[in-house]
A = this chain, B = another copy of it.
Amino acid sequence: MLLSKSCLYGVRAAMYMATLEQSEYVTIQQISEKLNISFHFLTKILQTLTENNIMVSYRGPKGGVALAKPSKDIRLIEIVDAIDGTHIFSECIFGLPGCGNMTPCPLHGEWEREREKIRRMFSDTTLAMLADKINVFNLRISDTDSAPINAKLLKSLTITHRKRK
């Protein structure tokens, strides 16, 4: 797995919050239920996200967590960085320590190109972009979420396309 479970949970929680796009606080309880993640575990993960100024939290009734910035200003890589660290995107494919361009391993060239693309994929994607896609196409975020792809929309798109011929 490229990303740790903790990181995945953090990303999915952030994605979920972005789809709500409301200014109120959301309780971790609600998020954990919606995404089917252990409440206590998610709590700890979101703690590190608030420590890293990606989210803000508020205690007491009507409290919870919220995104610290508009979702269009939060990039996937920030979340990954906070939880797993960005070394993932600069790591040697063979796990050799102290690796660099001076003593490259045989696959260095290709791997460097690929991991850079992956890194860019994470740094180019904002939460808003993901939330849009999720809302428009009704994509799933959770593993138990029963929400299938928006069948009606998909069908209409297909038909429209066919009629054009």
Contact = CB atoms under 8 A, between A and B. Distances in A.
Interface of A: 1-3, 5, 8, 11-12, 15, 91, 93-98, 102-107, 110-111, 114, 117-118, 121, 125, 129-130, 133-134, 139-143, 148-149
A110 B93 CA distance: 20
A80 B113 CA distance: 21
B107 A118 contact: no
Contacts of A139: 103-106
B103 A148 contact: yes
9 A-B pairs with the lowest CB-CB distances in the bound complex, closest first:
A106-B133, A106-B130, A8-B95, A96-B143, A103-B149, A103-B140, A97-B143, A110-B121, A103-B148
A15 B107 CA distance: 12
A104 B150 CA distance: 11
A94 B148 contact: no
A146 to B, nearest CB: 10
Contacts of A118: 114
